[in-house]
Each structure stands twice: as C-alpha cells, then as structure tokens.
Chains A and B, each alone.
Chain A
Amino acid sequence: MATVTYRQPDGTVTVLDVPAGSTVMRGALTNGVEGIEGECGGDGICATCHVYVDHSPVPLPEIDENEGELLDCTSSPRKPNSRLSCQLPVTEELDSLVVTLPATQV
C-alpha cells in the first residue's frame, strides 16, 4: 500500500491508498479520480494517462523509447516531470507520491 496524491488542475486534491502491484493510473481509475482516461487499459499505447510528477520519494523507473515518443505526443504539453501513469508501478517505497493531472488527455 502507498499513499498517492492526485492534484487536479483546479487545485482539488484526492489522496488514495493504492495497493502495491497496481499502477498510478489504475489507482485513479478504480477510485473514480477524474482526469485520467487510460483508453488502452495500461499497455503504454494511448497516452491518455499523462501525469506530472510533483514529488516522488524514490527515483522512478526510466522512461523507455516507447514512453518517450508517446509523451512527445500528449494532448497537454510535455514537461520535464511528465510521465505515463500506467508505466508507474506502485510499490511500498512509492508512499507519498504526488502527481498533478494535466488539463486534457485527449
């Protein structure tokens, strides 16, 4: 279990306990957090699960070529802290992760 904070562009904040083994994207979808579409179900092909990572307690997995290309094509602009949330597995160590959702995914 890790506590993940999702911030909406308008400032609304949702704090969730997401089980280890899930992903940051799935945590949002299963708890009805708005702002993540996840059209491809987490397979890293649709780029509708874009988030900005504001704070991570541990280094996140590297961005591979596929994620990199998809991030270049997101609907809201890519920033240095952009990630696809389906590519972020939740682990116990990730406790206190904070992400901001972009204004648009599609």
Chain B
Amino acid sequence: MTTNATELPVFPWHRGCPMAPPDQYAEVRESDAPVRKVPLATGRTAWVVTRYDLIKQVLADPRSSSARAHEGFPYYIEIPEQFKTDCSFIGWDPPEHTVHRRMAALSGAFTKKRVLDMRPRMQEIVDECIDTMLELGPPVDLVGELALKVPLTIMCGILGIPNKDQAFLHSCTEILFGGGSSATQRAEAIERVGRYLEELVISKENDPGEDLISRMIKKYRDQDMYDRREMCNLTRLLMNGGHETSTAMIAIGVMTLLEHPEQLERLKANPQLVPGAVEELLRYLSPGDLATSRIAMEDMQVGDVLVRKGEGLILVGMSANRDPRVFEDPDTFDLERGDRNHLAFGHGLHHCIGSDIARTELEIVMTTLFRRIPDLRLAKHWSELRYKDGNVMYGVYEMPVTW
C-alpha cells in the first residue's frame, strides 16, 4: 500500500524541467490511491486528486466549492489576505458566481465573435513587440519584450487602460512577476496597482468609454447592483487572470517548440498546424496546473475516498493532462495530436473566461514570431533559467533568446 501521507514531500511538488510534471504526479496517479491526503507547505492537509476522470468529476460537482475566503480552503502557499476576500467571482459559488460571471461574460470581450473582432489589433500588438525585439538586437529577454508585453497590452486595450499608463503597469508587473524583487517591493507594487485600479474605475464611472470596465459599470448600474469595490476586485481579477498565465504560455511555449526542432520546422512550413499546436502546448505545459482547488461543502465520494465536508481538494490539472487513460503516450509532445479535451483552462462553471483570448494570442504569437525571426534560439539552456515553480501559475522569470 502507498497511502501513507508522510512518504510524499510537502505539497506543492516541483517540476524537474519546465516541460515535465513533478514525478509525484504519475507516482500517485498510477498507484492504488490516486486521491491522496498530503501535507501542504502551509501546514494544512488536503486531498490531491490526480486522475483526469476524477478531476473532471470534482470540478463538475456542485458540492465542491470555490469559496476562497472559507477558512478551510486548501492554500498550499501563503497568499495575501486581500486575495482571499477580495477575489471576485473566481472565489465564489452559484448563485453569486453565475450572476457576476455572466455580467462580465456578456459585457462583450470574451465570446468567440468578440475575440475574432479583436484579432487585427492583437496582430498589431504582437508585430510591434517583435519590431522592438529586432531593433534591440540579440540577445533579448523574450519574457520582458514579448511574453509579458503582449498579454498586458491586450488586456489594457480591453479594459480601457490608457496607453500612457501601460509603462507604469508594466513596471509593477515586472516587480510582481519578474523575480528580482523583495517581498516589501512586491507588497508596495500590489498597493500601487490597487490604488491605480480604484482611480481608473472612478474615472470610468464619471467618463465612460467604449471599454469593458465602462460597459460593466453600466450593466451593473442598470440593474442597481453597482459596487465600486467589487468593480475594482473584478478588474484586478481580469488583469491578473489575463496576464501571468498567458505570459507563462508564451515563454515556455516558445521554449518547448525550440526544444522540438523537427516539429517546429513542420509548424513553420504549415501555419495551419498552429491552432492544434497551441492546444498541445496547453496540454503539455498546463501553467495553471495549481489554480484549481476546491473545498467540499458536503461529504463526497471521489474514487475510493470519502472526502469529508470541510476538507480541501487540489485538482492537479497537469496530472490530468498527462493521464494515459485519456491521452495516448501522454509525455510525448506531438503538435498534431489533435486533442482539445485537456483541462488547462479548468472545467465546469469556472472554466477560464479568457480561454478564447488566450488561444488567439498564442496562435498569433507562435505564427508571427517564427515567421519574422525564423532562426530564433535560446541564448541560455533551459536548465540555466529560473522558474516560478510551485506557484499558482508556473512560469519563467527571464528567457534570453538570440538569432
């Protein structure tokens, strides 16, 4: 039997390589106890669920709650208190979740057709970033010049954040996600962004534009439901949700393609393979792997385990995405695999609201980057880079490239 929690290291477990899951995922998933109680780095314990079918089942089960402010929520790293209470609808359950998610979803930025309308602007943004890379000349940090900038600029455009403020936000983001900063600097940056977003929301209240925040304010006011603080929280959720994840995918996505040169050549020769390649990159890399945690609101059976009311569940998406019961030869990167049923965007009612934005961004970046800089390569081997490992979002701090 391998059910003893003390045999496993404290969770979160670590990737040995950005392109491979922590060894413990397969070890637990393929054992006779794929739902396992483990100690967390925060001193709590929680159930880690590793099989695709069980993860999907829990994500679709109304008894599993996203209440991030709940005292039993299975945090595995320390999170600022404000992120628990002021997290907007990602941390809520129906009926509140449904009401507010729909307010956002119907304010016209997330559906397929709206994203299609934004495509030309996204292409311009990607081209501008690559122009700058070419002007700077190699070596260039791909994270700073492309992976951070593209999603930030796109999200600013959607939210109606003026161009002149993007440099300020970019510098805060670099402090927050850039890796070279102290805890105090990060706390200050959170504070500054918070104040900025509040001023932004107030300015949209007084002088609405064509942007998402203005449209959401109007929608909430029309229904007599407007609350400034909640609007600030929602804006922050969209900013953060729309940024760090996509940054990670662009950077380690490019890395993965560069590490598979034969497949990359095929991709360059056949740009119509790009949408499928993006799906495979999402499956293979699963950067939001640790973003899906829940708390049981009732006793619930998960596989062989009876999870008790109040216990936490951590649904490791990258393990599901490498489950051999669902994906043949799951640890092989195959850009022509042709599967979209991965859980990189979650599943069920919290399924990523920005998934079409993210997919489109990634498609444009992968097509344009390798067309414009066909000789792109890593200036440092991946093993020499620093990673955000064991964080809610996986990622790389810097990735120098040359050509």
Which A residues contact B (CB, under 8 angstroms)? 37, 39-43, 45-47, 65-66, 69-70, 72-75, 106
Contacts and interface: CB of A to CB of B under 8 A. Distances in A.
Given A45-B105, A66-B102, A69-B106, A40 B351 contact: yes
A62 B213 CA distance: 30
Nearest to B108: A69
A41 B349 contact: yes
B402 interface: no
Contact of B111 (A37, A41, A70): A70
A106 B348 CA distance: 17
B119 interface: no
Contacts, number: 49
Interface string B190-219: 000000000000000000000000000000
Contacts of A41: 56, 59-60, 347-349, 351
A43 B348 contact: yes
B58 to A, nearest CB: 11
Interface in B84-115: 98, 101-102, 105-106, 111-114
B98 to A, nearest CB: 8
Nearest to A72: B113
B275 to A, nearest CB: 9
Given A41-B59, A66-B102, A73 B349 contact: no
A45 B112 contact: no
Contact of A45 (B59, B101, B113): B101
B229 interface: no
B222 to A, nearest CB: 12
Interface in B342-380: 345, 347-349, 351, 353, 355
B18 to A, nearest CB: 26
Interface of B: 56, 59-60, 98, 101-102, 105-106, 111-114, 340, 345, 347-349, 351, 353, 355
A46 B114 CA distance: 13
B159 to A, nearest CB: 20
Contacts of A40: 347-349, 351
Contacts of B112: 47, 73-75, 106
Contact of A73 (B101, B113, B348): B113
A43 B351 CA distance: 9
A106 to B, nearest CB: 7
A50 B54 CA distance: 26
A69 B106 CA distance: 7
Given A66-B106, A69-B106, A73-B111, A43 B340 contact: no
Closest 8 interchain pairs by CB?
A73-B111, A73-B113, A41-B348, A43-B349, A40-B351, A41-B60, A69-B106, A73-B112
Contacts of A37: 340
Contacts of A43: 98, 348-349, 351
Given A45-B101, A45-B105, A106-B340, 16 more contacts: A39-B345, A40-B351, A41-B59, A41-B347, A41-B349, A43-B98, A43-B348, A45-B349, A46-B351, A69-B106, A69-B111, A70-B111, A72-B111, A74-B112, A74-B113, A106-B112
Nearest to A66: B102
B106 A65 contact: yes
Contacts of B101: 45
Given A37-B340, A41-B347, A47 B111 contact: yes
Nearest to B105: A45
Given A37-B340, A41-B60, A106-B340, A73 B114 contact: yes
A74 B112 CA distance: 7
B134 to A, nearest CB: 33
Q: Which of B59, B105, B114, B345 has the most CB of A within 10 A?
A: B105
Contacts of A70: 111
A70 B101 CA distance: 13
A72 B85 CA distance: 34
